[in-house]
Structure 1
Amino acid sequence: MNPTVVLVHGAMHTPWIFAPLRERLGARGIASLAVHLPSSDPDSAAAQGLTDDIAVLRAAVEAVDGPVVLAAHSYGGVPATWVAAEAGQVTGLVYIAAFALEAGTSMLEWMGGAFPPAWMRSPDDLAVKAGDAEESIFSGVDPTLTAEAVKRLNWQGMRAFTEKLGAVPSDVPLTYVVATEDPALPPAVQEQWAARAAHSVRVPSGHSPHLSHADEVADALAEAVARAAATGS
């Protein structure tokens, strides 16, 4: 049975962000679904944290009939890493310009204890949002698509950044898609994480290759699915 690709969005995003990529996956005969993480919410008071994201993502994986390849963008790499470590159905993990943190580390610790200067805190101090998304998150993306994506950005719950990653997988094949022109997550850091992966791909994109280079990312995911299917996992 071919694995299903379960897509995990980044901070402030919603599953909508994967529409172009899911279209490409469907054209390649690959089943996919995109999970909404509760740490991203239009209401800052309702935005939850990493452990809540873990619970939702784990439930989504367990609801799939058959093996799963997790594919995560940006912050989504953190809950995806944890779930891949604990869910036996996960037969592959693909990082798309995503955070591949060490166990016991939080996003905020990795960021040096401070958010980027252009990020905004919500009035209730429970969440944050990028104020420079056009340049940092969506650089190189079609302007019309960028405008729609910025309009759809949510608040990201503070606990998504302060809660620590609880586990990392030891026996799940990893693929890293490096965005070589990423202004948000330095390509040099991505390369360090890619060096620990069994497979890596380089895409000449900014921080959202699933939008600007959807075909290349779909190809990388198709290869990960084919590898997982071939191993009979």
Structure 2
Amino acid sequence: MKSIFAGLLFAAAAVMGGKVSAQEPMHKPTIVLVHGAFADASSWNGVVKILQKDGYFVIAAANPLRGVKSDGAYVGSLVADLNSPVVLVGHSYGGNVITEAANGHANVKALVYVSAFAPDTGETVAELAGKFPGSTLGQALAPPAELADGSKDLYVLQSKFPAQFAADVPAAQAALMAATQRPLAQAALDEKSGDAAWKTIPSWFIYGDADRNIPPQVMAFMAKRASARDTVVVKGGSHVVMVSHPELVARLIEKAASAK
């Protein structure tokens, strides 16, 4: 896998007119974007365009959405293959994943939580989501889909997806997002988080004040608890502020990337 990522870095350097080698990593940190449940890597497209234009090498990882520890290990293996400083960015459940993935990787210099969970050690998604009232996600979920191994997957009903998930996104785009959503393993909701990486790695937060999945009070609580370097609250922002406000999200990521 190392050779694959080395090749990607060389290709990125060529596109940007620079040079990179295994011994001489790129000057700017690599940005690794981790999507959450009921989404896919394309939810970062608007952010990726801005970051690439500004000279950053970006990877939008395909989050397996199977469980906190296994998903964290997957993203962590990607981070381990990168010969550069890394900024890990997580959306929603992806926040749990980057919190897990950063552990043990000294090249992770910053964590950015985009409408995301930032769990403490031993906390679960279900526990955090219910810490303050306001989430209506449970009412928008389809009955769990049972898999061959007995596990269950969760989806958001397509008819309820736009209002629940992406109220500030154009209707046609929200409908596409609903159709292409990827499921979360139900068991992941109650899986306890590992060590809280934000206790030792600087963090930044951005979220919308009209989020219907994770109550804004919960995200404000997590940002304060993590002693976030900066917290941006998007007025009228839905759960997918990286889709509806990619410029704001990209600028915060770049702020984290350039921080000393």
Mark yes or no: TM-score above 0.5: yes
Q: 1:32-43 alignment to 2 at 5 Å? A: 32-39=58-65
Question: Cα–Cα, structure 1 residues 221 and 111, in superposed 2: closer, same or farther, change >3 Å?
Answer: closer
Task: Give the match for residue 79 of structure 1.
Answer: 97
Q: 1:20-59 alignment to 2 at 5 Å? A: 20-39=46-65, 48-59=66-77
Question: Cα–Cα, structure 1 residues 115 and 147, in superposed 2: closer, same or farther, change >3 Å?
Answer: closer
Task: Give the match for residue 202 of structure 1.
Answer: 233
Question: Cα–Cα, structure 1 residues 171 and 128, in superposed 2: closer, same or farther, change >3 Å?
Answer: same
What's the secondary structure of 1:224's corresponding residue?
helix
Decide which moves more: 195-204 or 104-113: 104-113
Task: Give the match for residue 118 of structure 1.
Answer: 140
CA distance in 2, matches of 1:214, 1:163: 30
Identity over aligned residues, as a percent? 27
Aligned residue identity for 1:189: V
Work out the number of aligned pairs and report it.
220
Task: Give the match for residue 45 of structure 2.
Answer: 19
CA distance in 2, matches of 1:128, 1:72: 19
Q: Identify unmatched segments of 5+ residues in structure 1.
A: 40-47
Query: How far apart are residue 72 of structure 1 and its match?
Result: 0.6
Aligned residue identity for 2:253: L
Task: Give the match for residue 135 of structure 1.
Answer: 163
Query: How far apart are residue 112 of structure 1 and its match?
Result: 4.7
What's the secondary structure of 1:201's corresponding residue?
strand
CA distance in 2, matches of 1:122, 1:186: 23
CA-based RMSD? 1.9
TM-score by length of 1: 0.88
Query: How far apart are residue 85 of structure 1 and its match?
Result: 3.0
TM-score by length of 2: 0.79
Query: How far apart are residue 201 of structure 1 and its match?
Result: 1.7
CA distance in 2, matches of 1:147, 1:188: 28
Q: Identify unmatched segments of 5+ residues in structure 2.
A: 1-26
Considering Cα pairs closer than 8 Å and 6+ residues apart, tell me whether 1 or 2 has the greater RCO.
1
Q: Which has the larger radius of gyration?
A: 2
